Structure 1
Amino acid sequence: MERRKLLGSIAAAAVGSAVPASASAGPKKGGNRPSPPSHSNSKRNSDILPTGIDRIEETFYNQIERELHHGAQLAVYHKDELVLNIAGGTTGPDGAAETTDTRHVLFSTTKPYTAGTVHHLVDEGLVDYDDYVVDHWPEFGRNDERKEDVTIRHVLSHQSGLHSIPAIDDNPEVWGDPDEKERLVEEATLAYEPGTRTDYHLLSYGWIIDGLTRNVVGKQIDEIAAEAIFDPLGMDDTSIGIENADAVDVSTLVGFEPYHQITDPESPGYTAYVAALFNRDDVQESVVGAATGIGTARDLARYYNCLLNNGEDVFSNQVTRAFTSVEVEQEDDGEYTRRGLGVRFGGSPGDSFGVTASHGVYGHGGLGSIMTWADPDNDIAFAYVTNGIRDGYEHSQRVARLGDTVRHELS
């Protein structure tokens, strides 16, 4: 498969919209149902009926039973309380039992963490959303004078004109070299005038923001995220990249072709290619702000609960409002999209947040395997993580169904 076609397929899967509820998810196969965990991780002292939690768990375990993935985690906050934190299945084809502490590659659900590093710099008074990137990183514009008009707001909202940088995107061998990545971002030229259109920044989102933070405070985004976000929120199992892959057990990714269950042989295609790529130790050790978050569903849900709580002690109220407000509403790669400064918004027909998601729901998906969102109207923070990469059609259906179940039972 050609690189450009491959990246296009990955982008479509990462952004993906859901399918009609009546669409088939493939043949159902039997299998040993994973034993549900005790409810020590599923608090029931809120005002939620136990039967509601049971129905959510039933939907969660049913997806493992149908062999849509080897293992998964689900974490849900409701009214500032962690009401559900469960895991099931295995950490891969030959893996151990999945637990709530198993760490996963988070793909594009990393982007809101990366955006959070910029919002932190805004809170610190070091940058502003409407600053030009060249104000803080003069060499950013050296190879294309149009880049002098790119603002930080443009980057956060996928409107910079640098939606792809093939010299980095297609070369994983440089992902772990911050100096080389910065140089290649400086050499890149715009595809269009900044602010004139929206194009999902599949990987360049991280390249640009990492270069920006290095030029502002001399630190990469992984350091800033750890100090300013993960540590204060007690997100002890999350990082952007990992220092030593041998020292951390990360769930093994598996790519599935449409309608394949886990007992079928793996077929060649973009899902298998991406799974193999992101299972590599050197990739997991790289700081890829758009894709190599390594963490748990519990920590993802904790982050969105922080945003529901007006930023707690991590972000100011003003910055939290900017983070979680709609910035742009327009077509992105043939689909209507509503984006903010690091998240996207729900409420569109067939949305992968679920058919019951209102326009106020915000969050982010991760390539064919993960979904996260916050629902301010119902005070719910949701994170669903799996180790099975599926195409946009099947993935959107499974995450939308689970999201709708959670919203229905907790609202």
Structure 2
Amino acid sequence: MPAHAPIAGHCDARFAAVRAAFEENFVERNDVGAALCLIVDGEPAIDLHGGWRDAARTAPWQADTLVNLWSTTKGVGAICFAILADRGLLSYEDRVADHWPEFGANGKEGITIAMLLSHQAGLSGFTSPASVADLLAGKTSARRLAEQTPIWEPGTASGYHAISIGILATELFRRIEGRSLKDFVRDELAGGLALDIAIGLDPRNDGRRAEIIAPPELSSADIGQLTAPQIAALANPPLDPTLPNDPAWRAADLTSANGHSNAAALARLYAMFTGGQVAARTLAAATATRVEGVDLVLGMPARWAAGFLLNFDGIYGPNQAAFGHSGWGGSFAFADPVAGIAMSYTMNRMGTLLRDDPRDVALIDAVYASI
């Protein structure tokens, strides 16, 4: 391995091809810093990290390095909602307005929690001009979205709520549980389960943070000629991919996009979730298909559960039962209950493809070829 991208950690011998693919990501696919974890039947089989936390390549990526996850954070939020369902605090069939009465305004009274979490609520973003500060404004922005008229008829299609689902979900969660998603993750996932996961990032952990590196031309609005659902989700405002390098971004409570973690913690979370952290009936309800078809924002086929992206076109391997979430630029975390695996990859050099990042494809293909 070239000295510019040292690899450290553990890899079982039978997954030598996966380690090779991880190393090739640095040599052939321009990774700067990254981590990879695979848990098989509850036991860690791969836990690797390598490269650099910074663009200048002066700070080595460590086992405990944290990086902004973008939408891979959404899977963490989905698991938090499933924990509340398991505790009997909510049903996915509850109407959002039953817990958050103001949300029922302007034709949204029939939207269920499952519909909201599966991007069917017609609230893919703001329909009046918005700034990045609005995305980070918490309760104020939640109130604004609750007053908004849906962009399409709720329940008729999905339209990826790229950022807005984080604003809506944490307010709904607080109405049900009492804590925001940020506080719940801090108390229950980081505290109770000892998982190195946070919504946002405490300044005390800034020394472990990886710098986000992106092509200067990359923007969330790079999806072609935009429709109304896409404008709301991706271009009002357009997002600079280096926003996670801004302390204001890291201070926010935004479970759609500003989670910070590493591959080892995310894989452990998914392994716990599928391995008995919630009852089988809760797992089935959380991962049931709620809508499928061409997503109005993504412009491509998608299968959505209650907050999870369900496997389609082999993005998470060959088994349809796999579920998880991927993030802008290349990160992902998923579980495959059929194969008995949980897998995650986190990195700081953002790719430009909406799906099928070649680094992801190489790693996932190598895993399934080895099991």
TM-score normalised over the length of structure 1? 0.79
Give runs of aligned pairs for residues 268-287 of structure 1, distance below 5 A: 268-270=217-219, 274-287=240-253
Shift of 1:141: 2.4
Shift of 1:316: 2.5
* Equivalenced residues, count: 351
What is the percentage of aligned positions where both structures have the same residue?
26
Please, which of 111, 114, 125 is the counterpart of residue 150 of structure 1?
Answer: 111
Distance change in 2, residues 1:61/1:128 (3 Å) = same
Please, which of 334, 337, 350 is the counterpart of residue 302 of structure 2?
Answer: 337
Please, which of 168, 173, 190 is the counterpart of residue 213 of structure 1?
Answer: 173
Please, which of 270, 292, 295 is the counterpart of residue 304 of structure 1?
Answer: 270
Distance change in 2, residues 1:166/1:277 (3 Å) = farther
State the match for 1:42 in structure 2.
10
Give runs of aligned pairs for residues 21-32 of structure 1, distance below 5 A: 32=3
Shift of 1:137: 0.8
In 2: Cα distance, 1:225 partner to 1:316 partner: 20
**Aligned residue identity for 1:112:** G
**Aligned residue identity for 1:36:** I
- Aligned-CA RMSD value: 2.3
State the match for 1:379 in structure 2.
340
**Aligned residue identity for 1:299:** A
**Aligned residue identity for 1:364:** H
**Contact in 2 for aligned 1:77/1:301 (Cα 8 Å):** yes
**Aligned residue identity for 2:284:** R
Q: Does 1:59 align with 2:18?
A: no
**Contact in 1 for aligned 2:11/2:19 (Cα 8 Å):** no
1:44-99 residue CA offsets vs partner (Å, 9 max, x unmatched): 4xxxxx1x322211110111122522100001101110111111110021240111
Please, which of 165, 169, 173 is the counterpart of residue 126 of structure 2?
Answer: 165
Please, which of 196, 211, 232 is the counterpart of residue 156 of structure 2?
Answer: 196
**Contact in 1 for aligned 2:38/2:44 (Cα 8 Å):** yes
Shift of 1:213: 1.7
Q: Does 1:227 align with 2:187?
A: yes
Where do 5+ consecutive residues of structure 1 fail to align? 1-29, 45-49, 257-266
**Contact in 2 for aligned 1:76/1:82 (Cα 8 Å):** yes
State the match for 2:211 in structure 1.
252
In 2: Cα distance, 1:328 partner to 1:404 partner: 27
In 1: Cα distance, 2:121 partner to 2:187 partner: 27
In 1: Cα distance, 2:88 partner to 2:186 partner: 19
Distance change in 2, residues 1:84/1:31 (3 Å) = closer
**Contact in 1 for aligned 2:79/2:273 (Cα 8 Å):** no
In 2: Cα distance, 1:214 partner to 1:185 partner: 16
State the match for 1:396 in structure 2.
357
**Contact in 1 for aligned 2:189/2:197 (Cα 8 Å):** no
State the match for 1:407 in structure 2.
368
Please, which of 276, 280, 298 is the counterpart of residue 317 of structure 1?
Answer: 280
**Aligned residue identity for 1:130:** E
State the match for 1:140 in structure 2.
103
In 1: Cα distance, 2:136 partner to 2:154 partner: 28
1:179-198 residue CA offsets vs partner (Å, 9 max, x unmatched): 31222122222012211111
State the match for 1:114 in structure 2.
77
Please, which of 234, 243, 254 is the counterpart of residue 288 of structure 1?
Answer: 254
State the match for 2:53 in structure 1.
91
1:200-259 residue CA offsets vs partner (Å, 9 max, x unmatched): 110111111111122223321111223333333320x21111232674431001113xxx
State the match for 1:185 in structure 2.
145
**Contact in 2 for aligned 1:32/1:65 (Cα 8 Å):** no
In 2: Cα distance, 1:393 partner to 1:277 partner: 18
